Structure formats: structure tokens, C-alpha cells
Amino acid sequence: MVERYSSDHETGEDNIQVFGLDIHNPVFGISSSLIIAFVVATVQFPDLSNELLSSARAWCLATFDSFMMLAINALLLFCLALIFSPMGSIRLGGDAAKPDFGRMSWFTMLFAAGMGIGLMFWGVAEPMAYFTGWAGTPFGADPWSDKAAELAMGATVYHWGLHAWAIYAVVGLALAFFAYNCGLPLTLRSAFYPLLGEHCWRWPGHVIDTFAVLATIFGLATSLGLGASQVNAGVAMLFGLEDDLNTKLSIIILVTFVTILSVVRGIDGGVKILSNANMLLAATLLAFVIVVGSITQVGQWIFFTTEHYLKNIIPLSNSVGREDMQWMRDWTVFYWAWWVSWSPFVGLFIARISKGRTVREFMLAVLLVPTMVTIIWMSVFGMNAIEQAQAGIGGLADGISSVSLATFEMLASLPFAAVTTFMGILLVLIFFITSSDSGSLVIDSITAGGKVNSPAPQRIFWAVIQGLIAGVLLYGGGKHALTALQAGTVITGIPFTVVLILISIGLFKGLRASLKEDHNRKKLTENTA
């Protein structure tokens, strides 16, 4: 226990019990009220909401582009420094702590929660978008050129690799350290204890946790909206059903129902099982595509992608003197804001499953494992798609017609298309469920004052709220509502980056204090002996 940052505050001491719920006062009430108000306003005034939020999104991206680029670079360097510093030997939960989950289950859970839907949705669409110039190209490369192909793969992994997971790693490590090594509640405000002291249990802390809930909702809803659209597109292609609102709503209802069942069962009985099943299915689909579409080239594609990722990681991280500033804002800065909005959710979830790991083990796993999986996945799916487009094969011959269909159009040009398309639909659905499930558990923990075993109706409430938000937005606002939601991701994600910087400062102070106390204890023991 790090004595310097220990507190007499009891987890959940500000909670109130009402209607069988155990909720934090006032975080639960403020968060749920603001979320409902946003949904109602967006549905009632879709055009006005879209106009205002889109304008705010454009202003944020143009104004804070350099800040976001520098901030995310700094977070990655901070993570790398922790790996090689003496702080890397600190164990989450103390020297005697043992991991709650096996290494493989740990890998699958953190990965499935962190970006599963995104890889399925953008695995083909993003490399193709950069290669064809669908929405600009990195560094202004000529669309459909060899240079565009190189940068397409390098930039795609850049957006899904080390930088993205550094954002999650900082939040996850901070929450785990202050919860398991300092005995503080598992909420975002605990990471501010070195900076705010006991004030983090008062209104400054209430604001931080409320902000975290809102950022999480925006980030999750954006991803879930993409997931529903992709499932709908796949079902329409495979079964000839209409790509319409009713199908999307049916998908959301199904996902919400399964999510409720999983949430009730908890991490061990729900998320763990689904995550393991999902990674097995993902590995099967990946192997299938390799065997039938690229078995002779997969090694070359992985080397090609890795080479151009490493070659371009520093130029892509630079925001000064670029010719592709608009592309950087629309893609890179938007992605960083999106990852930041997801960081309270993914970070807190990773923290919940990482007790017993050392800081070094934590950082190496969270940074490297997802990045390596991303390189392999993007290489197989992205390069398959680019080569199909270059050869004029299938639905990608003329570029992207629909981002939701891109993956399925690539699969349609391979053998056993119906089988792989069905596997793709099922995979997105399970990723959909695991993200919603994990998000519900995390939001519930934040709005329960850090409690991780709140009443089942409470966890169900947040699962239902997520489904209602997605359904109501689609029903009431359609495309405008989802566009507004994506704008909301940027608007909440950019200022939340400041929170992440402060968290990293607090984490450094906490880890340094832990090392100092360990050193003093060892010295005292030696002197006593």
C-alpha cells in the first residue's frame, strides 16, 4: 500500500440507495440527465443539432490539431519510458498479488473491448479510402499509385497501433495502480488524488467522473452505430433483406438483449466467455482469408505493412509543415479524439482485469499485442482489398461504394463468400456485444462510486440505455443524428485529452512515491537486521 496516497475515503460512501439501486450522488443523476437531454434535443432538432455540432467539430479539429498530435506523442513516449524505468517492476496490487485471469484470456478481453468493431469495419475500408483518395491521401500521394498503397497501409496501422493503445494504457495503468496499490475507488477521479488530494471526492471529482461517462457514451455510441450499419449491410448482401431502419433497430434490440444477459453474468460468466469466443472466431476468419486468398503472399504483406508503418510513424506524427493538413485533421486528429473518448471505458475495463501484472508487463502487453494483431489483420484484409482494386476484381474495382460494405465486397471476391460473409456478420455482432457489455460494466462502476459489484438492475439500466440511445437516434434523426454523435466524440475527446495529461502526471507521482517507499522499507529492514 502506498501510504502517501492512501485515503480514508470509503468506496461508495457518497452513494444513495433508491429503487434497489446503489448509485453515486450526484454523478449518476447528472450523467443520465445530460445523456437523455442530448438524445431528446438531437431527435427533436436533428438539422439544427447536426449543423451546430458539425461546426463545432470542424472548429475543434482546426484549432487543436497540433495540440492533439503533440499530446498523443507525449503519452506514447511516457509509456515507453515506464517500460525501461525502475517503475516497470512495480506490481499492480503489491508484490504478493496474483493475476485474476490467465494471460490468453487477459489478451483477448483487452483486445475485444478496445477495438474489435473498428478492425472489422475499417480493416478494408480505411486502406482503400487512403489508396483511392476517397477522402484524401496521406501526404497528398497520388491516388491509386504504389506510393498511395505504401502510405495507405502505414497510416492505417499508425491509427490503430502504438499511439492508440498508449492512450488506453495510461488510463488503465493509472486506474489500476491507484485502486490496487493505494486502495482508492476504481473511478477516474482516483487518478487525480496526487494532484487534488481529498478534493477529488468533492465537486472536482464529480465533474471528472461525469465527463468520463459522457465521453464514454459518445465514443461507444459512435462505434456501435458503425457496427449496426455494417451488420445491416452484410445481412442485406447475404440474405437479400432491406438495408433499412427496421433491420438496424432489430439488430440493436438483439444486441441489447444478449448484452443484458452477459452483463448479469459479470466478467467471468459474460465478457470473458464472449471475448474468448470472439477471438477464436476472428482467428478462424483470418486464417480462412489467408488460406483462400493470400497464403502465398501473407508474409510479404505483413513485412510490407510493418516496413511502411515504421518508416512513416515519425512523419505521420509530425504536425508541422505538412501538405495534407486537412487529411490529418479529418483522420488522425479525429481518431485521436475518438480513442481519447474511449479511454475511460477501455482504460477502466483493462484496469479491472489487470491486477497482479507488473507495470512493465502491463505496458508491453497493452502496447505490443494489439499492435501486432492489427498489423496482421490489416495486412491480410487491406492488402487483399488493394490488390483486388488494382486488378479490377469485384465490387472494389472502382473504389469504395459504401464503407459499411467494403469488407463484405472484399470477401465476395474470394471463394466461399457466403461462409466468410456470415462469419464476418457474426464477428461484428459479438464485437458489438462485448463492447456494449464492457461499456455497461464500466459506466456502471463510475456511476456507482467505484463499486464493481453493484446490483444487477443497475448494470442492466446502462445496457438498456445504450440500446435506447442507438435506436432512438437512428429512428428520430437517422444519418444526421449519427453525424452529430460523431461530432460529439470530437467535442468531448479533445478537452478530455487535457485530463489524460493530468492523469499521466498523477501516475508518475504515484509510481515514484511507491518506489521511494519500497526503497525506505528495504533500507529499514536491512538496518533492523
Three-class secondary structure of residue 136 per DSSP: strand
Stretch 158-178: mean pLDDT, rounded? 95
Cβ contact 395:409 at 8 Å: yes
Confidence label for 508 from pLDDT (cuts 50, 70 and 90): very high
Residue type, 272: K
Q: What is the pLDDT of residues 281-310, one digit of tens each?
A: 888 888 988 988 777 889 999 999 999 999
> In the 8-state DSSP scheme, what is residue 452?
S
Stretch 426-454: mean pLDDT, rounded? 79
Stretch 125-151: mean pLDDT, rounded? 94
More confident residue, 507 or 494: 507
Q: What is the pLDDT of residue 514?
A: 92
Q: What is the pLDDT of residue 419?
A: 87
Three-class secondary structure of residue 372 per DSSP: helix
Segments making up each domain of the chain, as ranges: 3-267+292-405+419-519
Q: Of 54-68, 103-117, 161-175, give the lowest mean pLDDT range.
A: 103-117
Confidence label for 483 from pLDDT (cuts 50, 70 and 90): low
- Nearest alpha-carbon partner for 9 in 146, 176, 178: 178
> What is the pTM for the complete model shown?
0.90
- Rg of the chain taking only CA atoms, in angstroms: 23
- Nearest alpha-carbon partner for 172 in 411, 3, 366, 462: 366
Three-class secondary structure of residue 134 per DSSP: strand
pLDDT at 389 over 80: yes
Cβ contact 298:380 at 8 Å: yes
Q: Which grid cell is 397?
A: 474495382
Block residue for cell numbers 464514454: 216
Q: What is the pLDDT of residue 348?
A: 82
How far is the C-alpha of 437 from the C-alpha of 460, rounded, in Å?
A: 10
Confidence label for 230 from pLDDT (cuts 50, 70 and 90): confident
Cis status of the peptide bond prior to 26, with omega within 30 of 0: yes
Q: Which grid cell is 152?
A: 495507405
Stretch 405-427: mean pLDDT, rounded? 87
Q: Which of the residue ranges 70-84, 240-254, 396-410, 423-437 has the most confident prediction, judged by mean pLDDT?
A: 70-84
Cβ contact 79:171 at 8 Å: no
Question: For residue 413, how many other CB atoms are within 10 A of its CB?
Answer: 17
Asked whether the CA dihedral 6, 77, 442, 360 is positive or negative, the reply is negative
Q: Of 70-79, 289-298, 371-380, give the lowest mean pLDDT range.
A: 289-298
Q: Write the CA distances from 217 to 39, 210, 302, 417, integer angstroms.
A: 11, 11, 34, 35
Q: Count Cβ neighbours within 10 Å for each residue of 49-67 and write b for 16 or more, e otherwise.
A: bbeebbeebeebbeebbee
Please state whether 450 falls in left (phi above 0), alpha (psi between -120 and 50) or beta: left
Q: Write the CA distances from 162 to 10, 43, 82, 158, 313, integer angstroms.
A: 36, 37, 14, 7, 10
How far is the C-alpha of 213 from the C-alpha of 206, rounded, in Å?
A: 11
The second-level CATH assignment, the architecture, of 3-267+292-405+419-519 is Up-down Bundle (1.20)
